[in-house]
Structures are given as structure tokens and as C-alpha cells.
């Protein structure tokens, strides 16, 4: 039996637990273990991406056959998300080992547990197990958010924790309703049961489905549930904020998974349950995030709103629901996760170079050291995230805009996406000109620029040109991914035909 699918969960779990036990040993040991374990995720994810390119891999945990046991399912989408997480986490941990992990205790253990939760949420094929992994990633993120505290972190953290606790209660109600009506929690089995549900049960299942949308919407920061995000992300330390760039995408992934698999075209009266809702929500998120971005007073806050904006664009893409739009959304998802992660790290470096008095606030401050380098990097990142040619944001937006089908949709999408792009362009130029060109005569009280931190920034921002250069093979993979997502029959068939392994090792 192939045990590869469970390794992205087991590796961070054991490393995290080990790091907890080694809390007294030196920081350098902990740092190197954490770095190696995180870097190991990249080849692991690459191997799974290769495997998922062949066929959908199903791993029955504890050798309990589905739909009774918990399964892990590696399809193209899950493997892709694992790879995005692995790269982002590697850059984040590389940044963190230069001092941000020393502000409090057990940073690396929490980091690994967070990775475990994220990877598990992507891999699991069971709805209740998804809830459990959500809770794992959330409790690790609570602690990471508050790491190296300060009063702004406590305040933002309190909102974040209380909102998510309420979200968990809603998640459980939805899961309970689905179980009560269908008698299963396996997502593939749920899809089959929902497809031939009776007319009397359909409204209740629909209600559970909409509750799930609220839960996932809270995680992915959609309108009107995003108000916690800018404050929380702006208050978190740079590497934590960079890792959190994937957290909104966990919510988006769940939306994509649940509503294409369980409430897709085969679901009878419940088919396309949320598409009509997701479209205005997505566009509303884009508009409000653009306004928030132009009003934010710190660079972190600005980048946090850019994360919300990318969520809105992705939701609009998912709501369109055709194969081309999904391909474009997945491309945009990779781009926005890595580049906004890189921007969070860059904001952290700039804040350190400007000293604690100015930080990442958009005020004229002391002259930055090596301002040319900083402004060049910021310029590239800004072009990429705004969506100007020739970088990856441009390709993502062009693909998305060209995939629109009807005239009315086109009018909305073009006007909202293009005008939000302009607003963000203005906000980014204002931020850049304030940070790099307007300087007071006062001497800088900041730290010298750390090379390793800049490597971490470069690693993530370099992905933008690489995504352009390798766009052709990547889009082939994403196109096949979108096709797989839109025809869930293959996924369901693969999961439900899985048999337990006998003692001899043969199924």
C-alpha cells in the first residue's frame, strides 16, 4: 500500500511533537529541524502532484474501507494546494529563523501543527475530519497570531478567536444535519446520497449547505464576513502573516470541493446551490477590499486587503463555474498566495529597517538603507499583485476576463475587476512613493537588512516571473485539474471503489 498521501500530515505532526519535547534544547537545533521538515514538504508535495497527474489516490486511514472509515484523497486539486502550502511555508520559516521565532516560546512546534492542519484539510475526504483539521489549524493559528504579544495582537486575536469559535459551532450544526439526513459523512458518499435525496429532505440539506457556505466564507474572508481579517493579519508578525496567506485559501478550497462535489450538476434540486450567491458576494468583496486597500494606513494592512481582494476575484471565478474560469482561478490562486505572502515578508523587512517608531506605517520616515534595492523589489511585487503586464497577476486576470460567458456577467466582471485594479494601483503607488521617496531628515533607528530574510522574500516574489515562464505546462495541469473538479463522477467512483488491504498486502 502506498503510504505517501498521509506523510504531509504525519511529518509535521511528529516534528511538532518532537519540538515540544525539545523545548529546552538550543534554538539553533529547533530552527534547523523545523527548516528541514518544512523544506521536506516540497519534494513530498511534488511527488504527490506527479502521482495525482496519473490517477486519484485514495488512502483509507486505519484500513477502514470507505464510506465507513476516514479517507484521504489526493486528486489534482489537493496535490496542487499542498505544493502551494509547502513553498509558502518554506519561505515563511526561512524568514522566521532569523529572529521572529524568538519572541515567545514554541514557535516552531506551533508552526508545524499549523502545517499539519492545513495539509490535512486539503487531503481529507471526510466532512467531519475536515472540521477536525480546521480546528487544528485554527488553534495553532490563534497561538501563532498572538506569538510575541502586543496589545494590538491581543485585540485582533480576541475577535479572530471568538468569531471562529462561533463558526465552528455552525460547522457542527451543518455536519450534524447532513449526517442526520443522509447517514454518512464521507464526501463522495454524501454526493451520491444528495443526488438521490427525496424532495422532502432537499430543503434541509440545502440549509446545511448554506450553513457550510457561511463557515467557509468566514474562513476565506468573503463579504460580509471579512472584517476580522485586515486587523488580524496586520497585527501578526511577518512570517505568520505570510503563512496566513494560505488560510483564506483553505476556505476557498473547501468551497470548491464541497460545492462541486456534493452540490454540483448531479445534485438534482440542489444543483449549483451557491453559484447565484457566490457571484455578488465575490464582486462585493472585491469592491470593499479595494476601498479598504486605498484607506489603509500601514503596508501590512494594505497587503491584508489585497488578500481579501484576491479572495473576491477567486470567488467570482468559482461562481462562473466553467472550465476556463476555474483554470484561470486556480492560476490566480497560486499567484496571489505566493505574491501576497512575499509582500507580507517584504513589509516585515521594511518595518525592521525603518525602526520601531515608523514600522510599516505609511508615513514619511527615515531614509531606508539600500533604497534602490527595496524600491525595485517593491515595484516588481506591486506590478505583479496589481495585475500589470508582464507578470503573473496580469495573466491570471486576462485568463479570467476572457473566460466570461454571458454579456451581463462580462459587464459586471470587467468593470469591477478593472476598476479595482486601478484603485489598487493607486494605493500601491502611494504606499511606494511614501515609503521610498519621502524621507525625513531624522536618522534611521532601524536594523541593518538581513540577507536570509531577503532570500525568503525573493523566493516568493521570484515565483511571479516563474509562473509566467512556465505558464504553458502549468496551465495544462490546471486545465486537467479544472476538468477533474467539474466531473466529480471520477472522484466518487475512485473513493467508493476502494477496498481494505488484506494481511498479505493485496486488496
62 torsion bin: left (phi>0), alpha (psi -120 to 50), beta (else): left
**In angstroms, what is the minimal distance from the CB of 173 to other proteins?**
6
Question: Whose Cβ is closer to other proteins: residue 128's or residue 379's?
Answer: 128
Write out the three cell numbers for 44: 513530498
Write out the three cell numbers for 368: 531606508
The residues, ordered by sequence, that sit 6+ positions from 244 with a Cβ below 8 Å of its Cβ are 141, 145, 232, 233, 236
Question: Whose Cβ is closer to other proteins: residue 29's or residue 103's?
Answer: 103
Residue 221's alpha-carbon distances to 62, 208, 280, 295, in angstroms, are 35, 20, 14, 18
Q: Is the N-terminal amide bond of 67 cis, ω within 30° of 0? A: yes
Q: How far apart are CA 399 and CA 20, in angstroms?
A: 45
Question: Whose Cβ is closer to other proteins: residue 29's or residue 162's?
Answer: 162
**449 in Cβ contact with 353 (< 8 Å):** yes
**In angstroms, what is the minimal distance from the CB of 351 to other proteins?**
21
Other Cβ atoms less than 10 A from the Cβ of 507: the count is 11
Question: Whose Cβ is closer to other proteins: residue 227's or residue 272's?
Answer: 227
**In angstroms, what is the minimal distance from the CB of 506 to other proteins?**
28
**In angstroms, what is the minimal distance from the CB of 423 to other proteins?**
28
**In angstroms, what is the minimal distance from the CB of 141 to other proteins?**
11
Write out the three cell numbers for 432: 511606494
**In angstroms, what is the minimal distance from the CB of 95 to other proteins?**
26
- Block residue for cell numbers 486488496: 507
Question: Whose Cβ is closer to other proteins: residue 160's or residue 358's?
Answer: 160
> Where would I find the beta strands (DSSP E) of 53-152?
57-60, 71-74
Task: List residues near other proteins by CB under 8 A.
Answer: 128, 132, 135, 139, 142, 146, 149, 151, 154-155, 157-159, 161-162, 165-166, 168-169, 172-173, 175-177, 179-180, 185
Question: Whose Cβ is closer to other proteins: residue 177's or residue 439's?
Answer: 177
**In angstroms, what is the minimal distance from the CB of 138 to other proteins?**
8
**359 in Cβ contact with 298 (< 8 Å):** yes
Question: Whose Cβ is closer to other proteins: residue 170's or residue 486's?
Answer: 170
Question: Whose Cβ is closer to other proteins: residue 301's or residue 387's?
Answer: 301
Q: How far apart are CA 273 and CA 254, in angstroms?
A: 15
**In angstroms, what is the minimal distance from the CB of 189 to other proteins?**
13
How would you class 117 by CB atoms within 10 Å of its CB: exposed for 0-12, middle for 13-18, buried for 19 or more? Answer: buried
Write out the three cell numbers for 462: 521570484
Question: Whose Cβ is closer to other proteins: residue 173's or residue 471's?
Answer: 173
**In angstroms, what is the minimal distance from the CB of 207 to other proteins?**
13
Identify which of 365, 374, 347 has the alpha carbon closest to the alpha carbon of residue 443. 365
Q: How far apart are CA 417 and CA 295, in angstroms?
A: 18
Question: Whose Cβ is closer to other proteins: residue 1's or residue 165's?
Answer: 165
**In angstroms, what is the minimal distance from the CB of 136 to other proteins?**
9
Question: Whose Cβ is closer to other proteins: residue 93's or residue 213's?
Answer: 213
**In angstroms, what is the minimal distance from the CB of 30 to other proteins?**
23
Q: What is the CA radius of gyration of the chain?
A: 22
Write out the three cell numbers for 12: 509535521
Question: Whose Cβ is closer to other proteins: residue 235's or residue 457's?
Answer: 235
Strand partners, 472: none
How would you class 104 by CB atoms within 10 Å of its CB: exposed for 0-12, middle for 13-18, buried for 19 or more? Answer: middle
**In angstroms, what is the minimal distance from the CB of 293 to other proteins?**
23
With the CA atoms of 9, 14, 20 and 26 taken in that order, what torsion angle do they form, in degrees rounded to the nearest 10?
-110
**In angstroms, what is the minimal distance from the CB of 165 to other proteins?**
5
Identify which of 494, 488, 485 has the alpha carbon closest to the alpha carbon of residue 72. 494
What distance, in Å, lies between the first and last C-alpha atoms of the chain?
Answer: 9
Question: Whose Cβ is closer to other proteins: residue 180's or residue 448's?
Answer: 180
- Block residue for cell numbers 541593518: 448
Q: How far apart are CA 419 and CA 283, in angstroms?
A: 12
Amino acid at each position: 500500500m502506498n503510504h505517501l498521501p498521509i506523510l504531509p500530515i504525519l511529518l509535521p505532526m511528529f516534528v511538532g511533537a518532537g519540538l515540544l519535547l525539545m523545548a529546552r534544547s538550543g534554538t539553533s537545533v529547533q530552527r534547523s529541524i523545523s527548516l528541514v521538515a518544512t523544506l521536506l514538504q516540497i519534494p513530498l508535495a511534488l511527488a504527490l502532484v506527479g502521482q495525482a497527474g496519473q490517477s486519484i489516490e485514495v488512502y483509507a486511514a486505519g484500513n477502514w474501507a470507505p464510506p465507513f472509515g476516514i479517507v484521504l484523497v489526493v486528486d489534482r486539486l489537493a496535490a496542487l494546494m499542498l505544493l502551494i502550502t509547502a513553498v509558502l511555508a518554506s519561505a515563511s520559516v526561512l524568514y522566521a529563523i532569523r529572529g521572529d521565532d524568538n519572541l515567545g516560546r514554541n514557535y516552531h512546534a506551533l508552526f508545524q501543527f499549523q502545517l499539519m492542519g492545513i495539509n490535512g484539510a486539503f487531503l481529507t475526504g471526510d466532512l467531519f475530519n475536515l472540521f477536525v483539521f480546521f480546528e487544528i489549524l485554527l488553534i495553532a493559528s490563534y497561538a501563532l497570531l498572538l506569538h510575541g504579544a502586543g496589545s494590538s495582537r491581543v485585540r485582533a486575536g480576541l475577535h479572530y478567536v471568538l468569531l471562529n469559535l462561533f463558526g465552528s459551532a455552525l460547522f457542527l450544526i451543518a455536519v450534524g444535519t447532513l449526517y442526520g439526513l443522509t447517514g454518512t459523512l464521507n464526501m463522495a458518499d454524501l454526493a451520491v446520497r444528495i443526488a438521490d435525496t427525496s424532495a422532502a429532505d432537499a430543503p434541509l440539506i440545502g440549509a446545511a449547505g448554506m450553513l457550510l457556505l457561511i463557515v467557509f466564507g468566514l474562513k476565506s474572508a468573503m463579504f460580509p464576513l471579512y472584517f476580522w481579517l485586515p486587523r488580524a493579519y496586520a497585527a501578526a508578525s511577518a512570517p505568520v502573516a505570510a503563512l496566513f496567506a494560505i488560510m483564506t485559501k483553505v476556505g476557498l478550497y473547501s468551497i470548491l470541493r464541497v460545492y462541486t462535489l456534493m452540490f454540483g450538476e448531479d445534485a438534482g434540486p440542489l444543483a449549483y446551490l451557491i453559484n447565484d450567491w457566490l457571484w455578488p458576494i465575490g464582486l462585493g468583496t472585491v469592491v470593499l477590499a479595494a476601498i479598504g486597500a486605498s484607506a489603509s494606513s500601514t503596508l501590512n494592512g494594505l497587503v491584508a486587503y489585497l488578500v481579501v481582494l484576491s479572495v473576491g476575484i477567486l470567488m467570482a471565478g468559482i461562481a462562473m463555474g466553467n472550465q476556463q474560469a476555474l483554470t484561470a482561478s486556480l492560476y490566480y490562486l497560486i499567484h496571489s498566495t505566493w505574491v501576497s505572502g512575499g509582500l507580507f515578508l517584504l513589509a516585515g523587512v521594511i518595518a525592521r529597517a525603518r525602526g520601531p517608531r515608523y514600522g510599516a506605517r505609511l508615513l514619511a520616515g527615515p531614509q531606508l538603507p539600500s533604497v534602490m534595492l527595496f524600491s525595485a523589489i517593491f515595484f516588481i511585487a506591486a506590478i505583479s499583485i496589481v495585475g500589470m503586464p508582464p507578470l503573473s497577476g496580469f495573466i491570471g486576470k486576462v485568463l479570467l476576463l476572457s473566460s466570461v460567458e454571458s454579456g451581463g456577467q462580462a459587464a459586471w466582471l470587467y468593470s469591477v475587476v478593472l476598476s479595482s485594479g486601478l484603485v489598487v494601483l493607486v494605493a500601491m503607488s502611494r504606499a511606494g512613493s511614501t515609503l521610498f521617496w519621502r524621507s525625513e531628515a531624522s536618522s534611521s533607528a532601524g536594523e541593518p537588512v538581513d540577507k536570509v530574510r531577503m532570500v525568503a522574500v525573493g523566493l516568493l516574489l521570484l515565483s511571479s516571473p516563474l509562473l509566467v515562464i512556465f505558464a504553458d505546462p502549468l496551465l495544462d495541469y490546471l486545465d486537467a485539474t479544472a476538468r477533474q473538479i467539474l466531473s466529480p463522477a471520477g472522484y466518487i467512483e475512485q473513493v467508493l471503489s476502494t477496498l481494505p488491504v488484506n494481511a498479505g498486502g493485496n486488496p
